[in-house]
Amino acid sequence: MAAGLRAVRRWALAAAAPPRLAFTRSAFVAKKESNAQPNWLGVGLAFGTSAALWAFLLKEHDGDVMEYERRRQAKGHHKCTECS
């Protein structure tokens, strides 16, 4: 009985231990990186996406400012120095 418990503990410790680096393979590194030839498609997609998001953000901001001004005007806001 005691030998069985020791075996179970040993297997539990072995299962909980991190895998050894010598026996693992990374699925993300298939070849060595070459900095001489950048991935221009990836660079273009990154900068293009960033530019598109900034353009959308600025367009939305301008629309929000216009909506704010329209609602402020519709509210009947008067230009009185004593009220503000």
Helices (H), ranges, 1-39: 2-16
Which of 33 and 59 is assigned the larger pLDDT? Answer: 59
Q: Does 4 score more than 60 pLDDT? A: yes
CA 66 – CA 70 distance, rounded (Å): 6
pLDDT band for position 58 (cuts 50, 70, 90): very high
Q: Does 75 score more than 60 pLDDT? A: yes
pTM above 0.85, yes or no: no
Q: Which string of DSSP letters, residue by residue, matches 27-63?
A: SS-SS---TTS--HHHHHHHHHHHHHHHHHHHHHHHH
Which of 17 and 56 is assigned the larger pLDDT? Answer: 56
pLDDT band for position 63 (cuts 50, 70, 90): very high
